Structure 1
Amino acid sequence: MNAAHPTITIDLVLDRLQTKEVLRAMLHAILFHRLFGTIRSRTFEVLDVTMPGVDDEEIKQLVEDKVDAFWKGVEGDANKRGQILVTFSEKRPRKSWFLIGEEEIPWEQWVINAEIRQPSERERQKFNSDLASTLTKSLQTMLTHASSEGGRSAVPLITNAQSISPFPIKIAVKVGGVEVA
């Protein structure tokens, strides 16, 4: 991918018990701020942090599949680290003499770097407090970026308002630098 599009990175250190819940909420929050069709909203409560989400069956299934893929990938990985990449693209006519059709050009990417740890019972309260603070800062990052001039200008012209997203969305899961299904 080229560096012409904004890349927003969010770093999370997660407790194994809350990994799926936190990742599900994070993906929903990103999609909530970047879907431009008519959506029904919902909320996720994670460690007393209210996060926005999208109440759409197709989106829910996509998020569940990717969170499950992440979980299965890190379960088999010794260092318990991985990434979830959410890429928003636009379709443009292919500019080639030999190939006809459309190509997807990324206009924004969100990278969630996640590391899973197992805090002791003594550490759990501070760990949860730190994670709640990180989630709050992540929401502020999302809001700041989506409402900033740079965040607004990254969005291409919307030419199709028939679906929940006028742009292709790709969510990739990587563990150990390798994409997992």
Structure 2
Amino acid sequence: MLQITIDIVLDKLLVREVLKAVLSSIFFYRVFGQVKPLVPTREVLDITYASIEDAVLEAQINDKLTLLNATLEASSQNASNLLPTNNLSAKVQGQVCIAFYEKKTKKAWFSKSEEEVCWEKWVINVTSINPRTDSDRNKMAKSTESQLQNIMFKIIDIVNENKDHIPPITTTETNPFPYQILLPSSTDESWGAVFKKILVE
């Protein structure tokens, strides 16, 4: 299994749009079926990013980012209450993970069952900052633009350099590999259970 970790520090006002760009770009390169690129292309901070025309995936990304934003906002308010009033910013951390699976047949004595084995995992660690001044916010925007550009190049390099671990495509389904978008704070399932599932060999 290949694991890729991406770290990014963001103004809390940019978390949703920047992470949407990162997640959409990953899926653009990892959905191997017949996909239709979204036209026109999307932009954030003057950086154009690729995404696919898929209403279900779009809804999943939006739902997870809404949940992540709510979690970060709640944590930010708690952190702000504990900080001195002259502190420049309150920092909180969150995480979102994309896991891609291969369906495999598991044989028992007198039966067969299907299991999903993770072959690639992307972990995006985000630090959300609430700048207290316009000057700090402008500096943060420039930093975010640079980070996002580097992340986009990193995604392209990774998908071009790492191909041997991709399972063979044995189905004609639109997306041959199941996936999950996961948050450690999500009530979908506990984070420990998620990683136990992901780390199955």
Alignment of 1:20-169 (within 5 A): 20-42=16-38, 43-77=41-75, 78=78, 80-97=92-109, 100-119=112-131, 120-148=133-161, 151-163=162-174, 165-169=175-179
Greater shift in the superposed pair: 9-18 or 76-85: 76-85
Tell me the distance in 2 between the aligned counterparts of 1:93 and 1:67: 33
Tell me the distance in 2 between the aligned counterparts of 1:134 and 1:37: 30
Tell me the distance in 2 between the aligned counterparts of 1:140 and 1:97: 48
Tell me the distance in 1 between the aligned counterparts of 2:11 and 2:62: 18
Partner of 1:54, secondary structure, is coil
Tell me the distance in 2 between the aligned counterparts of 1:133 and 1:127: 10
Distance change in 2, residues 1:70/1:97 (3 Å) = farther
Q: Give TM-score scaled by structure 2 length.
A: 0.79
1:96-133 C-alpha deviation (Å, 9 max, x unpaired) = 44873111110000011011101221122221111111
Q: How many residues align?
A: 171
Partner of 2:177, secondary structure, is coil
Shift of 1:83: 0.6
Tell me the distance in 2 between the aligned counterparts of 1:123 and 1:132: 14
Greater shift in the superposed pair: 21-30 or 89-98: 89-98
Moved over 6 A (4+): none
Partner of 1:76, secondary structure, is helix
Greater shift in the superposed pair: 104-113 or 34-43: 34-43
Q: Is the 8 A contact 1:70 1:174 kept in 2?
A: no
Shift of 1:161: 2.5
Flag structure 1 segments of 5+ consecutive residues without an equivalent. none
Partner of 2:97, secondary structure, is strand
Amino acid at match of 1:35: V
Flag structure 2 segments of 5+ consecutive residues without an equivalent. 79-90, 189-201
Q: Give TM-score scaled by structure 1 length.
A: 0.88
Distance change in 2, residues 1:96/1:141 (3 Å) = farther
Q: Say what the alpha-carbon RMSD is for the aligned residues.
A: 1.6
Tell me the distance in 2 between the aligned counterparts of 1:81 and 1:95: 42
Identity of aligned residues (%): 33
Tell me the distance in 2 between the aligned counterparts of 1:138 and 1:169: 21
